[in-house]
Amino acid sequence: MSPPQRRPAIRAVSFAEVGEAVARLIVVAGSDTGQASRAADFLLAWWDGGEWGHFPILHLCNCDASISEDMLIVMAYLAAEPTVYADAWGYRDAMAALVEQWRPA
């Protein structure tokens, strides 16, 4: 079996673009909009899905296109790179705040 080939859309996603997308998603997830919980579900499932829950794929259809595109930017990067989390862009504290906001003990 040959290794999967990288697709142009995935190759086009840079580390900086992902950092910008994560920043925008954190702002949405920390807000009180109707899409905040979906953005939080996405970020927290990426952070630790076993502990903080899963991300229903249908959430992509239930967000504004710009929010869904930010999620897809992160997913495209993850499809092409080794395991990496939001703290790679300096968002460890922001992720901890989302855990406290959305998954209180």
* pLDDT one-digit tens code per residue, 56-75: 999 999 999 999 999 999 99
6 found inside a domain? no
Q: Note down the domain range covering 76.
A: 11-102
pTM higher than the cut 0.85: yes
For the chain, how many structural domains are there in total? 1
Can you read off the two tokens belonging to residue 73? 């930017």
Share of residues in the chain with pLDDT > 90 (%)? 79
Residues 6+ apart with CB under 8 A from 59: 38, 41, 42, 71
Residues 6+ apart with CB under 8 A from 80: 6, 10, 11, 13
Distance from the first to the final alpha carbon of the chain: 46
52 found inside a domain? yes
Q: Does the pLDDT at position 105 exceed 90?
A: no
